[in-house]
Amino acid sequence: MPRTSPNADTSQRILDIAERLLQTRGYNAFSYADIAQSLHVTKASLHYHFPTKAELGKRVIERYEHAFLQALAKIDRTGADARERLRRYVDIYVDVLRNERMCLCGMLAAEYATLPKPMKAEIKHFFDENERWLVAVLEEGQQTGKLRFTGPVREVARLLVASLEGAMMLARSYDDVARFKSAAERLLAGLGAGK
């Protein structure tokens, strides 16, 4: 069985801590010093793995998107109908909130104007991929009669993402996952995907 090199392991630990900090504090509220303190290493050793904070941020977004897309592919493999796939999509957000975190890209979107350009492109890509997946689910649901809505499918997909991201922010400010779940239930019910 191949072993992970110590450098790869350190890089993953750096990414893990950076992801947690980004999801709880945002990009502008953490530094390499925070990561170094958590890992009990020097800031110089962090720069060996990720020369700049922008590079670290970009890599965290890429990794987060990859994991998110894997979660969507897992939902697709279940063979569930469009209603159930939407419910499972919402469950991804609920799980993030339960872990006292925010959607990484939603958190970064709030700081968008101050982020490095490469990170901005990755955030847009993350939301584009969410939208693409939702469009496919919504189209299938509309065709099979499992979902009902009016207006262009892409606009409905954008409304879903925007509403869920906003509901996360408000739920976080109240420290109340139930507040998010209530908003998400109303969204799903409006599409015919309610319980």
pLDDT of 193: 84
Q: Look up residue 113 and give its DSSP letter.
A: G
Domains plus CATH for the chain?
53-190 (1.10.357.10)
Dihedral, CA of residue 109, residue 111, residue 112 and residue 116, to nearest 10? -120
Residue 5 has pLDDT above 60, yes or no: no
**Which tens digits make up the pLDDT trace of 79-107?**
999 999 999 999 999 999 999 999 999 99
Structure tokens at 150: 């009016």
Quickly list H helices, the chain. Answer: 6-24, 32-39, 43-49, 53-77, 82-98, 104-109, 117-144, 153-174, 177-190
Mean pLDDT of the residues in the chain: 94
Instruction: Indicate the pTM of the whole model.
Output: 0.91
Cα–Cα distance, 33 to 37 (Å, whole number): 6
Mean pLDDT of all residues in 13-26: 97
CA atoms in the 13 A half-sphere facing the CB of 76:
12
